[in-house]
Every structure is written in C-alpha cells, then in structure tokens.
C-alpha cells in the first residue's frame, strides 16, 4: 500500500442544538477530514480535534500543522504492509494522538477497500449492531435537563449520559433520576473537579449510576485511585487514558473500574484495539466514547464498538443527533432496541457526499 496523493479538509459543521460541557459551549463542530489515494481507490479518516483546546490540547490548527509538516511527508510514497505499520513511521512524533488517529483511520479505510474487508472484520468485531446511548450537555435549568432527557428517551435511547460540573452536579443528577428512576444513567465531569472538592460528589453513590466519568484532572491517575476508594460507583477514565500503557497503569493502581475508549484520543484504531484487549484480559468493561463525529468517524466508532469487550452502550448516537446534513451518503439510524447497525461494506463502509463536504469546508490542501 503506497499513498500517492492526500487531500486535507478543515470542516466547520453547524450543530442542530448547542452542546455544553464543563469546559465550554459550542454551536459548530470543527474537524479535519483526510482523503488518501492509491491504486485508483480512496480512503477517508477523521481527526476529531476541535477548534478550541477544551477537551484536549490538540486543535484543528495544531493537527493541521502536525499532519502537514510531519505525518504526510513520511507516508507519501512510502510502502506500508498494513495500517498497523503506520505507527512505527510516526513514532518520532510525541503526542498529537488525534492527528495520528485521523491518518490511521484513512489507511484502514483504504486497506479494507483494497482487500474487500470491512473495518469490523479487520478489527475482529463480533456484533452486527452496537448498543448506544446519548450524551446530553448542560442545560439552563434542571427542569430543562429533565425535558431534554425525556425527549431522547422518547426517541428510543436506552442509556443517558449527562454532563456535570461544580454547582451543576447533584441537583441535576437527582432531578433526572427522580424523573426516570429506572433508566441507565451515567454522568461525565470532563475533569471539572479536584480532589479537594470531590466530597461534593459522594451523594452520587445513592443514585444508582452506571459510572462517574473523568471527575478529576485529565493528566491524573493517582487522585482518581484515591477517589475510587471512596466511591461504590465505578469511576470511568476518559481524558486520562492516551495509550495502552496509561490503561495498564490505571488498572494496576485501581484508578478506575471502567475505561472509555476513543480511537482519536489514544492515537488510532490499532491502539484502541490494544486497550480493548488489555481490559478484556482483566475483565474490565469498556465502551466507545464520542466526539460529535461526522459519518466518517461514526462509522469507525461503530466498527470498534462491535468488539466483544464493549459491554456498555457507547456515545455514538444516530446521525440526526447532531447534524441536519452529514458529509456521508449513509445515515446511521437508531433501531427500536437502541442499537445502530455496524457498516458491513469494505473499509469504513461509507461514501462521502462531496457536495456536502464542499459546503462545510473552510480550507483544503492537496499533497
């Protein structure tokens, strides 16, 4: 597999409704799409870095720079035996996992098309459908949050995740739990708390939650270990896990009992697969987090989440959850049992709507 040409697109896509977390509120979602060519075929990848450095230090501008200056020069005209061989080529780049993951995803798509195999098959996925939930951002009031949650339950989602932050934690969660006593419910703090104020979260132990996601700092494992000792509810790590090594360390020090796997955050699908295998060996549940992806990244998430260790519903959601018009011809639809079908076509199993892509492209470059 030798890459002959690359197109890089910087997109800005308007969300159907604003999405607010502990680190900010957005109305539009920025990302990068990578299109690669070889032997008359094309492959697509999505870099999930956003415009602002809220969730991660990576942004669309930093990712563009890393891809432009460092990644693309070492992959163009380079013979690669498989997508996994890409990691060795970019091993000299410290960090910048989302930039690397976007390129690797495109390689998986292209490789699958060359060999007429779906991404699910190549990763070893076993499920044709994936259980999914929905992530609900902060709302103006607890009452409004309950209304929004009720709407998603009416749409058929089996699991609800709500965002929390200091001052918007116990009251909001309690309101949702009282309104819907039997639903699968979890909360996500996006690193909004510190060990000095986590006692405020102890009442969550009485609300029958699946998990509390990333309550403490994104670069922390030890304090999560101390907090998990206080809680009956499982702590789930997201932002703190950037590699299989981080996952192993978190499990060894009992910093969490669940791990959220995002291929973009950990540097690619191959690393996501390795973390899945580690957790499965240690009987630790995993689930697939979301980054408001387009249909390109959503297809990759579904293939990853079809692996057997993904036993909890993911934050993948249907296409119409975020965008009026996506950039893929395929629309991912919520089934009546709160699942979404895993694409079974070659590669990612999607085709890009170039007219839609052009409408939301801010900048592009060809290599």
Active site residue 163: yes
What is the C-alpha to C-alpha distance for residues 192 and 217, in angstroms, rounded to an integer? 7
Say which residues have a Cβ less than 8 Å from residue 195's Cβ, sequence separation at least 6. Answer: 216, 223, 226, 227
- Spot the catalytic one: 100, 113, 161, 163: 163
- Spot the catalytic one: 100, 262, 283, 365: 262
| DSSP letter (8 states) at residue 2 | B
Active site residue 113: no
Which tokens hold the place of 231? 């809680």
> Which secondary-structure segment (H or E) carries 114?
helix 97-115
Torsion from C-alpha of 132, 133, 137, 143, nearest 10 degrees? 160
Say which residues have a Cβ less than 8 Å from residue 112's Cβ, sequence separation at least 6. Answer: 43, 118, 119, 121, 122, 346, 347, 348
Q: DSSP states of 284-317 as a string?
A: --EEE------HHHHHHHHHHHTSTTB-S-BS--
What is the C-alpha to C-alpha distance for residues 275 and 126, in angstroms, rounded to an integer? 17
Catalytic residues: 163, 262
């Amino acid at each position: 597999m030798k890459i002959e040409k690359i197109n890089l697109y910087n997109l800005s896509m308007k969300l159907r409704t604003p999405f607010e977390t502990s680190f900010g509120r957005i109305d539009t979602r920025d990302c990068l799409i990578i299109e690669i060519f070889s032997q008359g075929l094309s492959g697509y990848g999505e870099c999930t870095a956003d415009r602002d450095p809220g969730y991660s230090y990576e942004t669309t501008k930093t990712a563009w720079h890393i891809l432009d200056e460092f990644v693309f020069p070492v992959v163009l005209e380079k013979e690669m035996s498989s997508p996994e061989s890409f990691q060795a080529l970019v091993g000299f780049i410290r960090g910048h996992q989302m930039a690397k993951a976007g390129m690797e995803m495109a390689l998986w798509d292209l490789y699958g098309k060359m060999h007429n195999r779906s991404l699910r098959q190549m990763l070893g996925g076993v499920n044709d459908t994936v259980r999914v939930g929905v992530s609900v951002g902060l709302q103006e009031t607890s009452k409004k949050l309950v209304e929004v949650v009720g709407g998603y339950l009416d749409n058929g989602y089996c699991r609800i995740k709500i965002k929390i932050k200091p001052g918007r934690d116990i009251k909001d969660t309690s309101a949702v739990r009282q309104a819907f006593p039997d639903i699968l419910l979890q909360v996500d703090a996006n690193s909004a708390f510190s060990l000095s104020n986590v006692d405020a979260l102890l009442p969550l132990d009485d609300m029958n939650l699946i998990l509390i996601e990333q309550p403490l700092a994104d670069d922390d494992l030890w304090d999560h270990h101390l907090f998990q000792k206080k809680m009956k509810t499982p702590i789930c790590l997201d932002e703190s896990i950037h590699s299989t090594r981080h996952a192993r360390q978190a499990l060894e020090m009992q910093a969490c009992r669940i791990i959220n796997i995002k291929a973009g955050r950990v540097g690619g699908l191959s690393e996501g697969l390795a973390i899945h295998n580690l957790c499965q060996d240690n009987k630790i549940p995993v689930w697939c987090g979301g980054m408001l992806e387009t249909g390109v990244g959503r297809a990759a998430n579904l293939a990853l989440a079809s692996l057997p260790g993904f036993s909890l519903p993911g934050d993948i959601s249907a296409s119409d959850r975020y965008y009026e018009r996506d950039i893929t011809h395929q629309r991912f639809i919520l089934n009546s049992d709160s699942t979404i079908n895993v694409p079974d076509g070659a590669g990612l199993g999607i085709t890009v709507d170039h007219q839609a892509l052009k409408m939301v492209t801010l900048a592009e470059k060809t290599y």
